Structures are given as structure tokens and as C-alpha cells.
Amino acid sequence: MQDFPHHYKTTASASGDSTVDLTSPGLDALESAGPAEFGGPGDLWSPETLLSAAIADCFILSFRAVARAAKFDWISIHCDVDAVLDRVEKVTQFTDFYQAVVLEVPPGADEAKAVRLLEKAEHVCLITNSLTGTAHLDAKVRVVD
């Protein structure tokens, strides 16, 4: 890992009513537009959906690191995020992030340890730690053959 601080450079560009092109060095470009809730087409990634996806992605990557450090074996993880945008004192902002996580583990896995590792992943996720909205975790562990 590199020393802090880390820098993540992105560029957004658009003309007129076109979609927004999002770029970052070394990455494929993304097209973005406003969500349907704000009059956008609803068929492209928006800043709101990108934020919600960043939370889910960060949670899974955080869990992967936490599980690796704990030498915990797992099969798969799935994270749904419901990011709630609301008006608070006349300011539009995200107020809550509901994360529904299902972790699949092999038979004989320590399910209590799995729950603790999921909670730790929520605690160390740098995206939710950087936001003012409240993160809520609903974690389930499922044993699969």
C-alpha cells in the first residue's frame, strides 16, 4: 500500500444537454446523466447511483481485506444498498445508507465470527466513513454446501 495521502483524479465533461463523460487515467470512460427522479433518462449511471455503488463496492472490498487478515474462508458476498436522498433544512442530501448483506460461508464456518467480520467491514469502509448520512447494516450469514 502507498503512503497517505492518496489522490484519485477524475474528469467530467459535457456539452449542452449531452450525457456527462466521466474519465480517470487508466480506466474506461463512463457515461452519466441525471436520474429519472431529477428528470434524467434513468438508463445511465448518475451521481446518485454511483455513490450507492461505491458504498456497496467499498463494503465488499473492506470485507475481503478484513476476512483475509482474519484468515476467514468464505464463498461469496452480496451487498444491496438503498441510499436515501431527502431534504433536511432546505438542503438536499443523503441521510441514510441501508446495506443488506448476505455472506455465504462453507459448512463448519464460525457464523458468529462471520458476523463480527461483516460489522468490522462496515466500520472500516472509507466511503461510508466519509459521508454524513447514517449507515445501517443488515447482515445475514448463510451456510452453503
Report if residue 88 sits inside a domain: yes
**37 in a structural domain:** no
Q: Domain range holding 74?
A: 47-143
68 φ, ψ (degrees, to nearest 5)? -60, -45
Nearest to 57 by CA among 106, 136, 126: 126
- How many domains are there within the chain? 1
Residue 126 lies inside a defined structural domain of this protein: yes
pLDDT value, residue 17: 85
CATH at 90: 3.30.300.20
Whether residue 2 lies inside any domain: the answer is no
Contact status, residue 91 vs residue 123, Cβ threshold 8 Å: no
Query: Residue 79, exposed/middle/buried by CB under 10 A (0-12, 13-18, 19+)?
Result: buried
How many Cβ atoms are within 10 Å of 124's Cβ, its own excluded?
Answer: 15
Q: What was the pLDDT predicted at 1?
A: 82
Look at residue 37 in the predicted model and tell me its pLDDT: 96
Give the distance between the most distant pair of CA atoms in the chain.
Answer: 58
CA–CA separation, 69 and 52 (whole Å): 26
* pLDDT for residue 69: 98
Between CA 9 and CA 131 the distance in angstroms is: 19
Asked whether residue 25 is domain-assigned, the answer is: no
Grid coordinates belonging to 108: 463448519
Is residue 80 in a domain?
yes
Residue 56 lies in a domain: yes
Taking only the tens of pLDDT, the chain with its 145 residues reads: 899 999 999 999 999 988 999 999 999 999 999 999 999 999 999 999 999 999 999 999 999 999 999 999 999 999 999 999 999 999 999 999 999 999 999 999 999 999 999 999 999 999 999 999 999 999 999 999 8
Position 122 in a domain: yes
